[in-house]
Amino acid sequence: MQSSYFFFVHKMFNCGIFIQVCRRHLFLILCNMLKVPDHQVAGHWAGDGKLGPLIDDSGKFYKPIQSDGRGSKEVHFYKSVSSYTNIPNHIRRFFPIFHGTKLIEASDGSGQKPHLVLQNIVSGYLNPSIMDIKIGSRTWNPQASEDYIQKCFIKDRETSSLALGFRISGLQIESKGSGFWKPDRKHIRKYTAEEVRLVLRQFVSSNSSADSGVDLDCTFVSTVYGGSGGILAQLLELKEWFEHQTIFHFYSCSVLMVYEKESVAKEVSSGAEVKLVDFAHVVEGNGVIDHNFLGGLCSLINFISEILTCSDVHTAKASLQDPKHCSYTNCDTQN
């Protein structure tokens, strides 16, 4: 534990980011061996003395339990998942492992606060490319307060949620030799269908960057999105469950897609993972399927399927014409 802490400090020095860590964080790190997550792409951020999640070196993720009811709802959800025996194991694996709750020193220095102790989904990756996609054209549930409904109603219309059935809430893509490309979160959640198509291709390209003019190579498309263990197969497994499950309605919940370019380049299997995160607005399904989440999930699936289909077209063409890029301009998206 001690040695991994020194390795962490050493690494932070090397990355040149140590100077950005304020005294309060250093104090917290020294006291708890907890740190601000390296690869958080959405949600509250514990940097700059604010309240946010922390991680440790053993693969755990500590999420502050919000006091406005949302926190207790999320705790209730994780406990429910454990108690429902009729959730199959191949579905359970989509939820982060729940290790209970714990009082720990909050990241904003406000003293000991209750935290959810969860699996740190990205702890097994060194340089993960991550996309956080909030599913559903509607992020509010019918039992919510009128104020909250109106706030969400406006946001769903302003962002891509209403039009596409989902919005990208966070994103980081490893960019060869230049760390990570992390586009502005305010911008990505308003992406048009065309921009979503582009970023989903950037996500699986070895030459992705902020420059949208680059001819994307889509090197990892078939390994990461395709195949029996790829992201599409995992999303389809989830879809199958959502077509029947009437236990929960997952409002404002996200699908997280994670993989690592270096690992894919070395191995045949992508190691790409799909997880469900953020359950502060989950309500009981009362015998009705979650048609809102299912619709949005199917929309995301269709975007990814199209990219794979186009990729097949291009692979087939490659044997004749050897095109070096993946423009997708000839893809017929209407069927």
Smallest distance from a copy of itself to CB 334, Å: 5
Pick between residue 107 and residue 139 the one whose CB is nearest to a copy of itself.
139
Rounded least distance, CB 306 to a copy of itself, Å: 8
- Say if CB 251 and CB 282 are below 8 A apart: yes
> Site residues (CB under 8 A) for a copy of itself?
84, 86, 137-138, 142, 153, 157, 162-165, 193-194, 243-247, 285-289, 291-292, 294-296, 298-299, 301-302, 305, 333-335
SS3 call for 232? helix
Q: How far is the CB of 335 from a copy of itself (least distance, A)?
A: 5
Residue 45, C-beta contacts closer than 8 angstroms, at least 6 positions apart: 36, 52
Cite the DSSP H helix spans in the chain. Answer: 2-15, 23-32, 70-83, 89-92, 146-158, 161-164, 185-188, 193-202, 231-242, 261-266, 291-321
Q: What minimum distance in Å lies between the beta carbon of 110 and a copy of itself?
A: 38
CB nearer to a copy of itself: give 12 or 81. 81
Q: Shortest approach of a copy of itself to residue 139 CB, angstroms?
A: 13
Long-range contacts formed by 96-100: CB under 8 A, 24+ apart: 96/61, 96/121, 96/275, 96/277, 99/60
Shorter beta-carbon distance to a copy of itself: residue 193 or 316 = 193
Q: Quick one: 68 or 194, whose CB is closer to a copy of itself?
A: 194
Q: How far apart are CA 94 and CA 172, in angstroms?
A: 20
182 vs 239, beta carbon nearer a copy of itself = 239
320 vs 217: CA distance, rounded Å: 17
